[in-house]
Structure 1
Amino acid sequence: MSPRRVEYLGEPTLAQVMRRPSWILALLLALGIAVAFAALAQWQAGIAVQSQQQEQVDTESERSLASVTSFEQGVTDAGAGVVVRLGGRFVVDDFSVVAPRENGGATGAWVVGNVVTDGPDAEPGAHLAVAVGWAATVADAERAADALAAEQAAADAREITGRYMPPEGPRVPDADEDPLTLRAMSPAALANIWSAVDGPVYSGYLVLHDDSGSAPLLDAAGLAPIDSVAPLPADAVNWLNVFYALEWLVFGGFAIFFWYRLARDAWEKEHEMLLLEAEADA
């Protein structure tokens, strides 16, 4: 059994001890410390949001591909999902199909191509994987790829825009499928099946936008534009700073509790001294 808690009766009460000038001054000091800790908590909470907001990247303002990335580097956080422009021409022998792909909630396939880029908006002579358009079935996508391969105008130099995306990890085809079946947008895997790669290959790929540079290709092949969705913003809260803010609040609460504990100890000690004096007088 735990020892019985001693009850202290009579004066001074705990409230009377706490109202003494010395303990009121101690309380004011504890409150000042608590307010300082609360201010630090508010500051930490503020920068937890502000620092993340400052790091948000504007992905919707069109810029040149060369200003976003280069073929030597992978797709960075600052470059992923950015709308870019560039000049180049499609290699008509390199259209292929990637499936399955969703577009507007429906499952189908993409027709993808190989663009040899031109300067100054991109590295001259580099290769960029481009998702051209979407078809409802793999068979429709294959027919569209054949139509584009037969369309000599596809090889004409043109200005195109689109959203630059990071590569997807390669996926192994099923055992009963053609080993060359493409299930992911992996520029490295695509480069292995392109007819001729005589220059560097960008690590990311482009989702082609439906504009004056690409509309004739989409119309000729009967393809639908691919949904180009802006990436979701990063989490607007830095949870490490939130943790620090909570720590400061705990410290502030502890300052008040520490004052209370000291005042109670003084009150208990005073009653113990009174009991000892009473026993000595008995």
Structure 2
Amino acid sequence: MPQVALTTDIGEGYGRWTLADDEALLDVVTAANIACGFHAGDPSIMRHTCGVSVANGVSIGAQVSYRDLHGFGRRFIAYTRQDLTDDLLYQMGALDVFAHLAGGRIDYVRAHGALYNASATVTEHAQAIVDATKEYNADLPLLCQVGTETWRLGQEAGLRVVAEAFVDRAYTPQGLLVPRTEPDAMLADPAAAAARAVEMVTDGEITAIDGSRIKIKAEAILVHCDTAGAVDIARDTRKALEAAGVELIPIN
């Protein structure tokens, strides 16, 4: 039976501001990429999100980012390798407290936004993600896309790298994500997203934005919480995967 983790970026509000229906998403997904305060989230949100995740049996992922609260982590920031490593460790430590208070732990690591995209090709930033993960806990899985610098360096460092794919994002013919600034970057139709998720997991192929077919490896698939209709996409995706005989699993 094929297996996959269904994940979402979550805990991305701040203070009185709420981005998504976190409670509903945490009823559907098997793993939660929780914001660690540098692009979104605050201590109370982190604590609450960890608590709900543990109560629901959902894995906790440290969703680390550039220090860019104003820009939601979607702007590239030039860091040295050591400075970025230290910023990522700081975020992991912050989330770790609330995970433990909830009776859980950090189960895996994943980069957010501009850091995720940049580390696909920027070696120094990919190396910082790998360094921080190894220093925090070398046994933790690291989520990233196959063929990126993060994937290559993670494998070289002996980390367990988990192949991530995206339910609600378009792909280039090279297998990378279409930038959000492009008009067709997001896939917000629940039925279409669910069908593509099944295709990713069972066939290992999808259609790129130019119509070409590309290979894809999907051990974890992501629905962004801020995509229009995210809860419906997540529910339809889970239902379609289960109907196709795919087992939904946590990440640990």
TM-score (norm 2): 0.23
Which structure has the larger Rg? 1
TM-score (norm 1): 0.21
